[in-house]
Homo-oligomer: A and B are copies of this chain.
Amino acid sequence: MEIQDLAKAIDEVWLVLAAVLVMFMQAGFALVEAGFTRAKNAGNIIMKNVMDFSIGGVVYWAIGFGLAYGGTNVGGLFGWGDGFFFSDVTRSSEWLFQAVFAATSATIVSGAIAGRTKFKAYLLITPFITGIIYPVVSHWVWAEGGWLANLGFVDFAGSGVVHMLGGVAALAGIIVVGPRIGKFAADGTPQPIPGHSLTFGALGVLILWFGWFGFNAGSTLGAVGADIATPAMTTLLGGGAGAIAAMFGSWKLLGHPDVGFTLNGILAGLVGITAGANSLPFGVALFVGAVAALIMIGAVRLLERLRLDDPVGAVAVHGAAGMWGVLAVGIFNPDVALSAQVIGIVAIVGWTFATSMAVFRLADRLIGVRVTESEELSGLDLSEHSIDVYPEFTFHAK
């Protein structure tokens, strides 16, 4: 038994368990999205969440990992060579950790387009995110020789690579799919469509926070010689600061401490701290998390003014707060150039928006992305899955 064998075992234990925590975030996303939307669509949301993870795993195995981390680096733009139809068991832990990240970026989209999108269309769209859109960006930033990495762009655990990317893809989705029936009055005034179970939503947020410790602290990619506790600590502080800021922000704005905004404030704080989780001082982490939550609130209202309907706030939480997280590293980490961060944001947003729009429009042309009006009104659970998720309970209206 050599000391190197022990070091490898420690790093493997850490990376595998961190990946398992990130995998569990799928349950968090499913509950947040189901809880924050109508009961008549809960089964459809569950299906989209389990299928984007399941399909995402297979697609990342076949294509994604090779594009991201294949041995041959094609001009800093993507990987090639080995890595497709992944079979190198000496890199299993690496694959595992990257695969659950890819699935996270994809699942962000499902909530934004909830309640009116054809299930078939979603099945067609999601593999592009896990198979191509996300792997390419992760190569730019995290692969050796990636062009953004070479430029000095820094995104420790993926405020930009995972969350902003997911949020921008979600934005493309809600533009193409359009708002839910009844979300905007004729004059454009947004109408509340409250979620069917904030208890499920809150549980989802707490599961996400739990899993985020694996997401951020696991991004050390190993434990020996690394500081795994500091990013865990900023993950606690960033989420907490987001909750506090969103609670007081919503209180000022709406006259009461709002449950939905506070829960999304936690998520925005977490998204915001992700890029600098390992490098920002604790006081700065608090500030970054708090600002992320306020930006999220602003973005929610901006989207509504633009008549864009995002039922769960995915664009605001992941897109806007993610962008802030990337910028914050440029602002507060003296070793990082703000210009590199801005270039990275422009590149990731540009690539993701263009490719996502293309994929959504393709799906729209091939099979249509939108269900019919009557299907939407009766709910996707009935129209797409012939199911009533709560068949015994009575409802005011469903």
Contacts and interface: CB of A to CB of B under 8 A. Distances in A.
A257 B3 CA distance: 51
Interface in A343-390: 381, 384-390
Contacts of A46: 198-199, 202, 259, 263
A227 B12 CA distance: 8
Interface stretch (A70-78, A83-91, A109-117): A83-91
B54 A266 contact: yes
B194 A47 contact: no
Q: Among the interface residues A34, A58, A241, which one has the most CB atoms of the partner chain B within 10 A?
A: A58
Given A1-B3, A23-B210, A257-B119, A244 B393 contact: no
Q: Among the interface residues A20, A42, A53, A213, which one has the most CB atoms of the partner chain B within 10 A?
A: A20
B390 A229 contact: no
A295 interface: no
A386 B390 CA distance: 23
Contacts of A55: 240, 244
Q: Among the interface residues A15, A61, A119, A214, which one has the most CB atoms of the partner chain B within 10 A?
A: A61
Interface string A8-32: 0110111111011101101100110
Given A12-B228, A240-B54, A200 B202 contact: no
A303 to B, nearest CB: 21
A397 interface: yes
Contacts of A257: 47, 119, 384-385
A253 interface: no
Interface in A271-309: 281-283, 286
A333 B43 CA distance: 38
A243 interface: yes
A206 B54 contact: no
Contacts of A51: 243-244, 247, 262
Q: Which 9 A/B pairs are nearest by Cβ-Cβ distance? A: A93-B229, A54-B240, A92-B229, A27-B206, A54-B243, A57-B240, A46-B202, A198-B389, A9-B224
